[in-house]
Amino acid sequence: MPIFPVCGALPGSPGEGHMKVGVVGAGAVGSACAFALTLRGVAREIVLVDRTRKRARAVAADLSYGAPLTGRVVLRDGDYPDLAGAEVVLITVGVNEKTGGATDRSDPQGRLRLLDTNAGIYRELVPKVAAAARGAVLLVVTDPPDPLADLARLAAGHHRVLSTGTFLDSLRFRVHLAAALDVDPAAVEAQILGEHGTSEVFVWSGVRVAGVPLADVLSARGLSRAACVEAVEREVRYANIAIIEGNQASQYGIGVVSARLSEMILRDEHGVVPVGAYSERFGVTLSLPSILGRQGVKEVLHPPLTAEEEQGLERSAATLREAGARIGVGAAAPG
Ligand SMILES: NC(=O)c1ccc[n+]([C@@H]2O[C@H](COP(=O)([O-])OP(=O)(O)OC[C@H]3O[C@@H](n4cnc5c(N)ncnc54)[C@H](O)[C@@H]3O)[C@@H](O)[C@H]2O)c1
């Protein structure tokens, strides 16, 4: 329901560029997603759903008071049926790394430690989301997003399911490379592929600064590649844990990432970013550079990789297939 009484219809009309986005989960991440969606002017209507309705209502009300300075958007709290007509639904419910005990840098399981608990929540909730928001693209934000996207795809009964995957990791990669090289992150092209988790693959062979290969930039400055790799990977791999140690939850970066992905989908932009989608080749959801449009991933691109990176991607896929098997998703081995 609208936070405040509405006289007349909500802006826009469903099916005519209404741009309705659902955010399921109004915790730290869901609130940050709704905030970023509001600031970017992505949607005309944002519906927040949480098991604690009061929380969703409070977040929607809080954002509503800033919305007149952003764009024309109506924010509401709601229940699952209120997601009807949404074109994109972000799913952010579940335990986070802090409450789920996934903040140990030496734990090879990493975010996969949250899988069993969050899979239980997804089994119950995704059918309700899919029944209400029939044509929507579902964007899985909850950790670990890749196996949960596989579960959500089966529970929803369609393929319009993405995981935020390694888009955020890739931005962290760009930001730390840019800091190391003292350049604008916008000039750095760099990607992380595979799992949003400990088996992720840094594609060092593809790093460019305004088209110039990293090796050339480093050698022109007399810098060591090994030192750069070690320092940047350490920062990026544990970026979430460092944030949680200072502020309980990693939320703002993923909020902007989720809003930007929603925008690419709603506007049928054909943006190309590393995002998690089911891969026939790997038999599981994992991140590869993907062309995003109104129905989700339109096409996946396979960048050239070194033999080592290729092996890393195979290992990442195997890790995710094992995780899927653990929750009964039973991803088939690739043919
Ligand atoms: N994909 C990424 O890159 C990324 C980044 C940061 C966090 N995350 C993940 O996002 C998730 C949410 O994190 P958070 O910090 O917002 O947690 P949080 O505890 O602040 O919020 C979770 C919300 O989910 C709601 N919820 C829980 N179970 C529910 C259910 N069954 N039905 C409806 N609502 C329910 C809770 O009421 C709460 O409001 C975690 O899994 C976290 O690890 C993912």
Q: What is the CATH number of the domain that holds 65?
A: 3.40.50.720
Among residues 110, 80, 41, 47, which one has the least CA distance to residue 250?
A: 110
Which residues lie with the beta carbon below 6 Å from any ligand 1 atom?
A: 25-30, 50-52, 55, 92-97, 114, 118, 121, 125, 141-143, 145, 164, 168, 196, 249-251, 254
Q: Are residues 146 and 223 in the same domain?
A: no
Q: Are residues 158 and 35 in the same domain?
A: yes
The Å distance, Cα 92 to ligand 1 centre, comes to 5
- Across the strands, what pairs with 88? 21, 137
Q: How many domains does the chain have?
A: 2
Pocket test for ligand 1, best of 24, 29, 97, 243 (most atoms within 8 A of CB): 29
Q: Are residues 37 and 52 in the same domain?
A: yes
Q: Is residue 86 part of an annotated ligand binding site? A: no
CA-to-CA dists, residue 12 to 104, 144, 168, angstroms? 47, 35, 31
What DSSP assignment string belongs to 182-197?
TS-GGGEE--EEB-SS
Strand stretches in the chain, DSSP E: 20-24, 45-49, 74-77, 88-91, 137-140, 161-163, 188-189, 192-193, 201-202, 208-209, 212-213, 271-279, 284-293, 296-300
The two tokens of residue 41 are 């002017």
Q: Is residue 32 part of an annotated ligand binding site? A: no
In a domain, 197, yes or no: yes
Pocket test for ligand 1, best of 31, 93, 172 (most atoms within 8 A of CB): 93
The Å distance, Cα 241 to ligand 1 centre, comes to 16
Q: Are residues 151 and 173 in the same domain?
A: no
Domain boundary among 102, 132, 163: 163
**How many angstroms separate the CA atoms of 184 and 177, rounded?**
10
Q: Is residue 26 part of an annotated ligand binding site? A: yes
Tell me: the pLDDT tens digits for 226-267? 999 999 999 999 999 999 999 998 999 999 999 999 999 999
In a domain, 289, yes or no: yes
The Å distance, Cα 55 to ligand 1 centre, comes to 13
Among residues 300, 56, 235, which one has the least CA distance to residue 243?
A: 235
Domain boundary among 114, 148, 163: 163
- Residue whose CA lies nearest to ligand 1 atom number 18: 27
In a domain, 189, yes or no: yes
Domain boundary among 163, 179, 205: 163
**Residue 15 has what pLDDT?**
44
Give the chain's largest Cα–Cα span.
66
In a domain, 329, yes or no: no
pTM of the model: 0.95
**How many angstroms separate the CA atoms of 110 and 195, rounded?**
11
For residue 241, what is the domain's CATH number? 3.90.110.10
The one catalytic residue among 18, 158, 176, 196? 196
Tell me: the pLDDT tens digits for 143-189? 999 999 999 999 999 999 999 999 999 999 999 999 999 999 999 99
Q: Are residues 122 and 236 in the same domain?
A: no
Q: Are residues 104 and 199 in the same domain?
A: no
Among residues 148, 189, 190, 179, which one has the least CA distance to residue 165?
A: 148
In a domain, 255, yes or no: yes
Q: Are residues 79 and 152 in the same domain?
A: yes
In a domain, 2, yes or no: no
Q: Would you call 302 a catalytic residue per the annotation?
A: no
Find the domain containing 311 and state its range.
Answer: 167-324
Q: Are residues 28 and 147 in the same domain?
A: yes
Q: Is residue 25 part of an annotated ligand binding site? A: yes
Query: Percent of the chain beyond pLDDT 70?
Result: 93
Tokens 């902007």, residue? 256
Q: Is residue 27 part of an annotated ligand binding site? A: yes
Q: Are residues 318 and 200 in the same domain?
A: yes
Q: Are residues 304 and 184 in the same domain?
A: yes
In a domain, 122, yes or no: yes
The two tokens of residue 51 are 């098991």
- Across the strands, what pairs with 162? 139
In a domain, 293, yes or no: yes
- Residue whose CA lies nearest to ligand 1 atom number 31: 121
Which value does ipTM take for this structure?
0.98
DSSP 49: E
The two tokens of residue 170 are 């890739």
Pocket test for ligand 1, best of 23, 92, 287 (most atoms within 8 A of CB): 92
pLDDT tens-digit profile, the chain (335 residues): 566 665 544 444 444 467 999 999 999 999 999 999 999 999 999 999 999 999 999 999 999 999 999 988 999 999 999 999 999 999 999 999 888 988 999 899 999 999 999 999 999 999 999 999 999 999 999 999 999 999 999 999 999 999 999 999 999 999 999 999 999 999 999 999 999 999 999 999 999 999 999 999 999 999 999 999 999 999 999 999 999 999 998 999 999 999 999 999 999 999 999 999 999 999 999 999 999 999 999 999 999 999 999 999 999 999 999 999 999 997 544 43
Helix/strand/coil for 204: helix
Q: Are residues 179 and 304 in the same domain?
A: yes
Q: Are residues 187 and 315 in the same domain?
A: yes
**Residue 72 has what pLDDT?**
87
What DSSP assignment string belongs to 110-154?
GGGGGHHHHHHHHHHHHHHHHHHSTTPEEEE-SSSHHHHHHHHHH
